[in-house]
Chains A and B, each alone.
Chain A
């Protein structure tokens, strides 16, 4: 009796604290990212056409509301007659998967190395931080293109490339945090109590830097998506005929001088909305979770 009541109270309390945590959650980015996620998951059911197959006879159809457009292709067709709407919807799947996996990959690598560097210090710190400093000197896009030129383009390679390019940003921030955490009493206490380094890093350090990593990851999401789009645009990202937004922009150039605006405006708009949402969410999270994380 009593036990279940206590459990119910606990649940209620948890819910309340969860809700207060969500207070002020900005609606715009949540709606946009949620919609994109749904589109990405259910792309097969939502998209009216096959995103990779087109009819040459249907090429360069304008959106439905313009003269010459038809309701069969609501947002028009591209240079080989593929349905733009369907490609945009499937493009969300690519951007979402690449964006999230790359950010998580980079986050796991960067956070781990950051903790090791910060906590162990000495030569481990020196090695990791020298590599971080040197790699940070490379412009992200240039570095990514270089790597893509070596390993060759594919969606899974893009994720690896992004992780290689962006882990350094996590490592630097996390290391800084760990250095200050090391001086806290509870960490010192754990050392005195004889906990192993492994345990301290796992139980005492990691939970305290995870917030920063999450904030950083959200802010990085936008950066990663733009980089992916740029790589695809240059032809070293997601290989054609897949419907990546960056690739669509590259294809759109073929109709640009003829004024086929929808091929340039729409994919870019999708990129912008997603990046904007990620940035807004990241800003909100930063204020909420980690007001100290001012730089980045």
Chain B
């Protein structure tokens, strides 16, 4: 449409403060990225790198103790951080939807599928009980659930994990959002069902023209699904750019290590390289570049000075002294 991106995040910083205020965990630190209509952004990182906190920050649904300290989130030109809680509510589920990690636990065990799928419609569009039910049926069909007429009357425990995750997907698209955030939506599914689910997501994305933020630790999925990638480490984006550039010419040693650790088919000779060391404790991040203790090519200043963001190619940026 226009030049303004759908989502523009600048310098977003979210910290967890412990109950007594003594421990501060820098879960998300100075994160910036943009997303245009219909684009898919993959956010990659190990557990504890701040991916999920980043996603929840976008919706301002952080757990108690977490707070957005700085930054700006502009969605369709509006500043989300300036909005009142009641205004945020009209954005959640309607304009930005999110799919959680665990499909087995995401549905309320005491309500029928139809009730839960139709709920956003009733809240956001004032649909009648019957109207919502009707739409729920269509939505179940849209996420390829067979016999939707019977399924709406089922309770979650009567359905398989794969089906439940489809239902969570149906809930997400029920109000026709512009942006869908999927937080590791396939990690708890069987591999065969994973593939089905991913192609379903692509299909929905194309059909509705929505933008997708795909959070994962699986680079293989990113390669299949995404236009752009942002690699997170220790709460920061260490490298971002178009998928092809990142996989073709990774600039950051962490990204390189991640890509090398993907098992390749038919490459029986090639060794799998694991990344040495442990992911850092987000409550006690190393000085300088957070990756330096594990970095195979670290320089002296990596331990003391934090690398600046630098451009290494078309829309391809990284924060590493090798390129600074």
- Asked if A and B form a direct contact in the complex, defined as CB atoms under 8 angstroms apart, the reply is no
